[in-house]
Amino acid sequence: MDWRERIEVDPAVLAGNPVVWGTGLAVGFSLELLAAGQTELTCWRDYPRLTRDDVRACIAYGNHAAGAGADLPASRGVEWREGAR
């Protein structure tokens, strides 16, 4: 699956943050739900606009963003340096 088919970034939608196309739900919000322990099933139940492929696209987008060296804040107590891994 190509996350680009389901994830959009539009300056007019949610201040340009990535969202699941057609839902208005932020990718980051969906990832937070999963990180907090919600299952795909509970995501679908609580947010019926999401599909299995939408949830998987969010995970794929997160993987892509992490691998691309997205501008993320450093962990507590760690100074961020450009190009540091």
Counting every residue written for the chain, the total comes to: 85
- The total domain count for the chain is 1
Which CATH number belongs to the domain containing residue 58 in this structure?
Answer: 1.10.10.10
With 90 as the cut, is the pLDDT of residue 19 above it?
yes
DSSP class of residue 73? P
Would you say residue 40 lies in a domain? yes
DSSP helix/strand/coil, 7: strand
Would you say residue 79 lies in a domain? no
With 60 as the cut, is the pLDDT of residue 69 above it?
no
55, amino acid identity: V
Report pLDDT for 75.
47
**Residue 53 is inside which H or E element, if any?**
helix 52-67
The domain containing residue 50 runs over which residues?
3-67
Would you say residue 15 lies in a domain? yes
Average pLDDT, the chain: 82
Task: Give the pair of three-digit tokens for residue 8.
Answer: 């959009």
pLDDT digits (tens, 9 = 90+) for 23-41: 889 999 999 999 999 998 8
Would you say residue 17 lies in a domain? yes
pTM of the model: 0.73
